[in-house]
Structure formats: structure tokens, C-alpha cells
């Protein structure tokens, strides 16, 4: 069983509605949540709501067969998939094709779509929206509609009648306008669920609203109508390493932006994962390699700076030429300082937070230097999303950079991936589906270099 919750555009309430539905259905079913697109924050709410780690499905990172592989791996032992879309149903990286869109995932999975409409001030025009979305691509099965932000019961009933009689598409519920169910935001989007106090309390409220506003039994019936997946499957990772290794992964309030499949690809390559907290732990665990992901180190720079033992341990790990891979927030942490707060100092540059977005884009990178996760000549897709930047003196840059950025911005002059010994740090986030040897290469590097 599977269903996609898609919007007519951004800011129609997808995350609140999707998370509430996931929580409500979890009372009867083992729900596997998914998010379309390169998002770490919305999935944190899904994970809290269901108890299952939310996965990302993205046709820029994944071929159709990889979308199906990722989906089927996650659905092992689960009852129903609830997939939250990204932006509008048809929005992708191009104004004509489907790449990066929710529609592309619907096609790969042959999943029915529930279209969410911000129905404020709309009645018959809502029917026009539904007609347009259905006509644009008949291959997409728009099986139902949810009306958000309806004024009252009368408004809902009029809009429901218009849609159902004109478009022959059923409306499975309407949600009354209520600002109390909105979510707090910050510079990279929503505040991650693990940071927000009383997140479970809010999720419970959203669940009650969905149970009182929507026909969830009908939504499950629509999900049950999705056909069995029989198309070609393409593995999202390769198994290269047969030696046992231990890899430390930074995971706490600061560093928590990871694709679960990246970690699973390490485990599939015989890596035992040891989680540690750069913020709270006294030192590093006994490991062969390190993976420091993204997050919000700019908000915790003073606390990170105060943990001198951890800074010393990571710098020593680096000086011993053991492998460290860091991306985005992890890159900032390995710089000389964040703002004025001293951090690990693998690289002699300052990371600073700016008042405007520095990069928000899907990226394509070409590897120009062999490194601990990739080989020269390879290309891979990734994404950038940060308000921070690294202050590099153009005349005195002291490091090789591993990647030429063919699409996107990168850290420095359309390049990224600072190399210092066996440490690699990049603003580019990648997903193992776009770099299938990621887990194997990092595991091999950890075995060969980390002992």
C-alpha cells in the first residue's frame, strides 16, 4: 500500500498534513514515511510520528530502478507507505521534464496521488486547479483531494461539490484554518523535530486534526489500489569491502543531516557504526574512520568550541592520516573557526553565517582528484543548501579541491571538496544512489588507513 501527498505548490500545508496522517495511521498500521527531494528536516517529523526512519526519494539522485530499490528496501516489514511530496506536484529542476519532481516518483512507483490545495478564497476555481493538474499528465493518478485552510463547513461543502461534480475526483476531507498547527521555521527551513521542544505534543495535535478532518479509511483504500511493483530494480549501492571496520558518525543536536541509505551502504560494506556527539561526548570512540554530516554548527559554535577534548581528538585523528569525510555543517566544524569560536582547525579558514542563502541548488560534480569516497573522472549528483560560507583568500588557498562543480556553486571558484591528507570536506551533500561506491570506498579507506 502506498500513497503520495502532493501539493499544488509550496506552503499548502504538506508537512503538517503528511505528518499528522502518518501519526494517525500509525495507530493501526506500521507506517513507512518518505519525503520527495533532498530534505533532512521534514523527515525528522515523519520519523518521530511513525517510529520508522523517513527515507528520501529523488529522481535527480536516483534512476527509476533505484527509486524502486530504495522504496522496497524500506518497505520490508511495513504495511503502508505515506510519501510527502516536494513543492508543487510537477516542480523539478526543469520547466518541462520530470526530473526532481514528485510526479517522477509517482510514475516510478505507480503510486496514487492525493492533491493538497490551499483552498482559501477558492470554490469553483479549486475545480479548475484539479482539472489542470489531471490534464497536464494523464499518467499521474490523482485519486483524491484534500482541501486545506477552508473557512468553515459551508465553504468546504461548496468546494467539495464543485470538485467532485466537475472533475469526477473525490475530496477526502477539509481542514479548517488554524494558525496554531503551523511549524516554526529558521534559515534552512523548519526547525528539526529533535530540537523543537514538545515536538511529539505538536505531532499528536496534528494527528487529531487529521482524524477529525479527513476520511482516513478511504485514504487507505486508495493506497491499497496501488499495483504491485514489478518493474526493473537497480541497486542503490555497491558492495566493495569485505573487511570489518568501525566508522564513527557524528550524531546529536548539531549534526543530524544524513541520508539513512548512506549509513546503510557503510553497513552493507562491513562497517560497524559507532555514533558519537561532538557536542556532548568527552572524546572520540575507537574507530577507523569518521563521517561528520550536516546540521547547524553555526548555532552551537560556542558549545562546540568549549568541548576542547573532542576538538583535540578529531584533530589528532586527522594528523594520524586516518580518514574523515565531512559535508556542509561538518565542513564548517573542520575549519579554523565558526564565527569567532575556535573549532577543529584542519583547514585554516573561518566559516561564517551570512544573512542570505549562499547556495540552494541541485549540483553536478566531476571528481578531479582521487579521495576517500570517489575516484578521479567520476561524476555524481548532489545538492547544496547553506547560508554559511568559508572565507578563503584567493591568493593563498593552500589545499587541493577534489571536485569541479559543473552545476551549482561549490565552496570556492566552482570547486569543492577540500583535501588535507586523508580528510575530505565539502559543502555538497550526496546520496549513495548518485555515488553507489560511496560506502565501499569509505569503508575501504577506513580499513586501509584507519588501523
Question: Domain range holding 182?
Answer: 2-224
The SS3 assignment for 173 reads strand
- Domain match, 142 and 217 both: yes
Whole-number mean pLDDT of the chain? 93
How far is Cα 410 from Cα 404, in angstroms, rounded to an integer? 8
Domain CATH number, residue 327? 3.40.50.880
CA 130 distance to own-chain centroid: 28
The tally of domains found in the chain comes to 2
Q: Is residue 424 part of a domain?
A: yes
Mind giving me the DSSP string for 218-274? HHHHHHHTSPPP-S----SS-----S-EEEEEE-SSSEEE--HHHHHHHHHTTEEEE
The secondary element (H helix, E strand) that includes residue 206 is helix 199-213
- Domain match, 276 and 168 both: no
- Domain match, 219 and 358 both: no
Catalytic residues: 328
296 versus 195: the higher-pLDDT residue is 296
pLDDT of residue 182: 64
Please say if the pLDDT value at position 390 is more than 90. no
* Chain position carrying cell 541497486: 235
Please say if the pLDDT value at position 341 is more than 60. yes
How far is Cα 30 from Cα 267, in angstroms, rounded to an integer? 24
Last residue of a domain, one of 159, 190, 224: 224
Model confidence band, residue 188 (pLDDT cutoffs 50, 70, 90): very low
pLDDT of residue 189: 45
- Region 223-240 average pLDDT: 94
- Region 252-261 average pLDDT: 95
Q: Is residue 230 part of a domain?
A: no
pTM above 0.85, yes or no: yes
Amino acid at each position: 500500500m502506498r500513497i503520495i501527498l502532493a501539493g499544488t505548490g509550496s506552503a499548502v500545508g504538506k508537512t503538517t498534513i503528511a505528518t499528522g496522517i502518518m501519526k494517525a495511521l500509525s495507530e493501526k498500521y506500521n507506517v513507512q514515511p518518505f519525503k520527495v527531494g533532498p530534505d533532512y528536516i521534514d523527515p525528522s517529523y515523519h520519523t518521530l510520528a511513525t517510529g520508522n526512519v523517513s527515507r528520501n526519494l529523488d529522481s535527480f539522485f536516483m534512476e527509476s530502478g533505484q527509486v524502486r530499490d530504495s522504496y522496497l528496501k524500506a518497505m520490508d516489514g511495513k504495511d503502508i507507505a505515506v510519501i510527502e511530496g516536494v513543492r508543487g506536484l510537477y516542480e523539478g529542476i526543469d520547466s518541462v521534464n520530470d526530473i526532481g519532481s514528485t510526479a517522477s516518483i509517482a510514475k516510478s512507483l505507480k503510486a496514487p496521488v492525493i492533491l493538497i490545495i490551499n483552498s482559501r478564497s477558492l470554490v469553483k476555481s479549486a475545480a479548475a486547479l484539479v482539472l489542470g493538474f489531471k490534464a497536464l499528465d494523464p499518467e499521474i493518478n490523482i485519486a483524491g483531494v484534500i482541501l486545506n485552510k477552508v473557512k468553515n463547513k459551508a465553504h468546504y461543502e461548496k468546494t467539495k461539490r464543485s470538485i467532485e461534480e466537475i472533475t469526477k475526483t473525490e475530496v477526502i476531507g477539509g481542514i479548517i484554518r488554524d494558525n496554531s498547527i503551523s511549524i516554526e521555521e529558521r534559515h534552512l527551513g523548519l526547525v528539526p523535530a529533535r530540537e523543537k521542544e514538545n515536538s511529539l505534543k505538536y505531532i499528536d495535535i496534528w494527528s487529531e486534526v487529521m482524524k477529525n478532518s479527513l476520511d482516513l479509511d478511504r485514504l487507505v483504500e486508495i493506497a491499497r489500489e496501488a499495483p504491485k511493483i514489478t518493474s526493473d530494480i537497480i541497486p542503490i549501492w555497491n558492495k566493495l569491502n569485505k573487511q570489518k571496520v568501525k566508522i564513527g558518525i557524528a550524531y546529536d543536536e548539531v549534526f543530524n543531516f544524513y541520508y539513512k541509505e548512506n549509513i546503510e551502504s557503510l553497513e552493507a560494506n562491513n562497517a560497524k557504526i559507532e555514533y558519537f556527539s561532538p557536542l556532548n561526548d568527552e572524546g572520540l570512540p575507537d574507530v577507523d574512520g569518521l563521517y561528520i554530516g550536516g546540521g547547524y554548527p553555526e548555532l552551537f559554535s560556542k558549545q562546540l568550541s568549549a568541548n576542547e577534548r573532542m576538538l583535540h581528538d578529531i584533530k589528532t585523528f586527522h594528523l594520524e592520516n586516518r580518514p574523515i569525510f565531512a559535508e556542509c555543517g561538518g565542513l564548517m566544524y573542520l575549519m579554523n573557526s565558526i564565527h569567532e569560536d575556535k573549532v577543529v582547525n584542519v583547514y585554516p579558514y573561518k566559516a561564517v553565517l551570512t544573512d542570505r542563502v549562499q547556495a540552494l541548488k541541485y549540483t553536478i560534480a566531476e571528481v578531479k582528484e582521487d579521495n576517500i569516497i570517489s575516484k578521479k573522472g567520476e561524476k555524481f549528483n548532489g545538492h547544496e543548501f547553506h547560508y554559511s560560507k568559508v572565507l578563503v583568500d584567493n591568493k593563498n588557498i593552500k589545499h587541493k579541491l577534489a571536485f569541479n562543480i559543473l552545476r551549482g556553486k561549490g565552496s570556492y571558484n566552482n570547486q569543492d571538496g577540500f583535501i588535507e591528507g586523508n580528510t575530505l570536506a565539502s559543502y555538497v551533500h550526496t546520496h549513495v544512489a548518485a555515488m553507489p561506491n560511496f560506502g565501499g570506498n569509505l569503508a575501504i579507506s577506513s580499513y586501509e588507513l584507519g588501523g
